[in-house]
Amino acid sequence: MNMYSQSTNVFNRENQKEMKKTDEYSPSLFRSTKSFYNFPCAHRQFKHSGNCSLIHGYSRSFHFVFGCYQLSKEGFVVDYGDLKELKNFLEYMYDHTLLLDEDDPFLEQFKELEKQGVCRVRVQPMGPGMEATAKFVCDYADKLLREKTKGRAWVENVEARENDKNSSIYFNPNAGFKGWNPSP
Ligand SMILES: [Zn+2]
């Protein structure tokens, strides 16, 4: 084997298979990104002692990094056509909505206002902040992607931005190949 074939050999399929079996913590070989912009969303963090306990809003955006070891037959990490449900989910959660903590003492009053058409209330398990948002969105997208690709691709991390200045990044602790037929 000459030097050339040794160095290119790293990328052949046999070695990719070996790597998956022996080292599940290997970084994914291929990555792609997808961004979704401009979700006008209000929130309030009732536990905050400052301004963040007041209802205020931002134009949220979401930046995904996807990973895989083996590309699709078309040569993609992710076919962006498979991300329609993700876009719908982001619109449901963050487009003209009011995000609240599930323990917000005014939650019932806000839900009353929702019935009267004043707001659309959404609740996230860990609250409305950007850290919780990044994790919440990552968990949803990772499950969706594994279903769509039969486990071939996953979410590496998600950056959730509330404006130009502030964002949170959640690194998926379950990133990596977990089998081709994950149980639903
Ligand atoms: Zn704030």
- Please check whether residue 162 is in contact with residue 60, taking contact to mean a CB–CB distance below 8 angstroms: yes
pLDDT at 15 exceeding the cut of 60: no
Please state the domain extents for the chain.
28-171
Distance 127 CA to ligand 1 centre (A): 12
Q: What are 88-144's pLDDT values in tens digits?
A: 999 999 999 999 999 999 999 999 999 999 999 999 989 999 999 999 999 999 999
* % of the chain surpassing 70 pLDDT: 84
How many angstroms separate the alpha carbon of residue 112 from the centre of ligand 1?
24
**CA 130 to ligand 1 centroid distance, Å:** 10
Could you tell me which residue, 113 or 2, shows the higher pLDDT? 113
Helices 130-148, 84-94: inter-axial angle, 10-degree rounding: 150
Q: Which residues pair with 158 in a beta bridge?
A: 64, 170
pLDDT bin (cut points 50, 70, 90) of residue 147 is very high
Mean pLDDT for the chain overall = 88
State in Å: Cα 120 to ligand 1 middle.
Answer: 19
Give the model's confidence band at 25: pLDDT under 50 very low, under 70 low, under 90 confident, else very high. low
Query: With b meaning 16 or more CB within 10 Å and e meaning fewer, what string describes 71-80?
Result: eeeeebbbee
Q: Would you state the pLDDT for residue 43?
A: 97
One-letter amino acid of 82 = D
1-5, 90-94, 111-115, 174-178, range with the lowest pLDDT:
1-5
Q: Say which residue, 126 or 22, is predicted with more confidence.
A: 126
Mean pLDDT of 39-67: 96
68 CA distance to ligand 1 centroid (A)? 35
Residue 158: name the closest of 121, 117, 130 by CA.
130
Q: How far is the CA of 131 from the centre of ligand 1 (A)?
A: 12
For the chain, give the percent of residues with pLDDT over 90.
Answer: 79
For residue 52, how far is its CA from the centre of ligand 1 (angstroms)? 4
Rounded Cα gap, residues 170 and 161, in angstroms? 12
Q: What is the mean pLDDT of residues 6-17?
A: 45
pLDDT of 9 strictly over 50 = no
Q: Class of 28-171 per CATH?
A: alpha beta
